[in-house]
Amino acid sequence: MANRHRVYLVPGFFGFTQMGDKESERIAYFQNVPRLLEQRFKERGIDARVHPVASAPSSGLEARARDVFREMARTANEDDAQLHLVGHSTGGLDARSVVSPRMAGEAPAFVKRVRSVVSIATPHYGTPLASFFHEGDVGKTMLRYLWLFTFLALQRKAMPFRTAALQACYWLVLRSEEAKLPPNLFNQIVRLTVDLSESERENLIRFFSQVGENQALIEDLMPVSMRAFNAHTADREDVRYGCVVTGAPLPTQTLRMLLTPDALLHGLFSFLYDKSAPLSRELQVPERTEAQSQALQDVLGRRFEARSDGIVPSRAQVWGQVLHVAVADHMDVMGHFDQPPEYISWLKSGAHFQEPQFQAMWDRVIDFTVGGAVTVHPGNQAERRVLADG
């Protein structure tokens, strides 16, 4: 079955596959990605199946790797297809763990059939943002409050104030849609939670209970922790490793931006970008190859080392062959960008990442996973104009 393939999509932090039963209200991590991949495989005449993988949302890297083992086991043994792992953010680290010699002793036999690992916007050398949230247990406290809020919002017991608040939020969503304001993540969440089925309620409570119980992933993503991870997680010789690097424009707070409905969300992105601290001394990145550096410079400019996608510094995302460099924020490449109505941006970065860039990026991933090594896509050249070199 040399020409049969299975591609496993491994999510990052908060690693869910989708939330919500009703298609019109569903929130998916890999938004529109499986559909695009299946369409492209069909157009190319490739026998391939796409499998989004669920993992523990905020547990440590070891626990998440075992989750990937279990999820893959459901389908990997149905045939002897070649296997490929594509991980976004922390999912890229999970993918490296799964195929690493370090995990070989407990890895199922099918892991030997993994032929490629692609990491997308992955903090291979950590991110100072994790250090910020780890300091003083800021991140853990926020996640615990999120779990508590979700539990109170979703429990079965009737709460008039909660019901009234949700209905008020839903009214605001409807009015914003009537005014033809751009859809956003808030709209999606309100539509999902205002009228939950019993199974949706139970699934959400289960998911956020995991978040409340374990927040080890924050510490694992600190640069100092990633140095230890990399020292003990070697690449496998018979696996090809490629990466997609993302970098957003430096955030600006112009008067025009402050007067838009997305001003608050853009302010949040600016805060995250600052705390990701691309030039932090805490971030120790080894010397890149000439080809890797050239690929980043071609798209992000000569000062690419100062770039971030708002979560992960761009230079910390390089591992193996640089397949593609995108002017995008951390979630754009998962299909969460502003192009209503099919796409809704989760981060308001001003990257102007749209459908053509989305398709070009995933085409490069397909080239690499089902074929041999590739070079950076010529379409990257067009992105040079988006990020100023200054």
pLDDT at residue 298, rounded to an integer: 97
Weakest-pLDDT range from 14-23, 165-174, 275-284: 165-174
Burial 232-245 (b: 16+ CB within 10 A, else e): ebeebeebbbbbbb
Q: Which of the pair, 333 or 349, is modelled with greater confidence?
A: 333
Report residue 385's pLDDT band, with 50, 70 and 90 as the boundaries: very low
Weakest-pLDDT range from 164-168, 252-256, 366-370: 164-168
The domain locations on the chain are 4-129+223-385, 135-216
Weakest-pLDDT range from 39-43, 145-149, 243-247: 145-149
Share of the chain above pLDDT 90, in %: 48
232-274: per-residue pLDDT in tens? 999 999 999 999 999 999 887 544 555 555 677 788 888 889 9
CA distance readout (Å), 136 to 194, 219, 261: 34, 12, 33
pLDDT at residue 240, rounded to an integer: 96
Report for 107-121, 154-168, 203-217: range of highest mean pLDDT? 107-121
* Range 4-129+223-385: architecture per CATH: 3-Layer(aba) Sandwich (3.40)
Closest to 245 in 3D by CA, of 285, 213, 208, 214: 285
Does the pLDDT at position 38 exceed 90?
A: yes
Mean pLDDT for the stretch of residues 366-384:
57
Mean pLDDT for the stretch of residues 32-41:
92
Going by their DSSP bridges, the two strands 18-19 and 27-28 should be labelled as antiparallel
Weakest-pLDDT range from 50-59, 185-194, 229-238, 332-341: 185-194
Q: How far is CA 150 from the centre of its chain?
A: 22
Residue with tokens 């695009």: 36
Return the CA Rg of the chain.
Answer: 21
Does the pLDDT at position 163 exceed 80?
A: no
| Mean pLDDT for all residues in the chain | 78
60-90: per-residue pLDDT in tens? 899 899 989 999 999 999 899 999 999 999 9
Contact 13, 94 (CB under 8 A): no
How is residue 30 annotated by DSSP? S
pLDDT at residue 24, rounded to an integer: 47
Beta-carbon contacts of 164 under 8 Å, excluding residues fewer than 6 positions away, are none
Mean pLDDT for the stretch of residues 355-377:
79
Does the pLDDT at position 151 exceed 90?
A: no
CA dist., res. 270 & res. 261, Å (int) = 16
Q: Which of the pair, 342 or 287, is modelled with greater confidence?
A: 287
Does the pLDDT at position 362 exceed 90?
A: yes
pLDDT at residue 381, rounded to an integer: 45
182-219: per-residue pLDDT in tens? 555 445 444 445 555 666 566 666 666 666 566 778 89
